[in-house]
Structure 1
Amino acid sequence: MSKIRLTKEFRFEMAHALWNYDGLCKHIHGHSYILQVTVIGQPNDNEKDPKCGMVMDFGDLKKIVKEEIVEKLDHAIVLNQKARNQHLFEIPQMFDKIHFVPYQPTCENLLLDFAQKIQARLPENIALHKLKLNETANSFAEWYASDNL
Structure 2
Amino acid sequence: MSIRSMHHVSVVVDDLASAKAFFTALGLELEGETPVEGTWVDRINHLDGVRVEIAMMRTRDGHGRLELTKFHSPAAVAEGPQPAPSNTFGLRSVMFEVDDVDAAVEAARAHGGELVGEVVRYEDVYRLCYVRAPQGVIVALSEDLR
TM-score, structure 2 as length reference: 0.26
Structure that is richer in helix per residue: 1
TM-score (norm 1): 0.26
Higher relative contact order (CA 8 A, sep 6+): 1
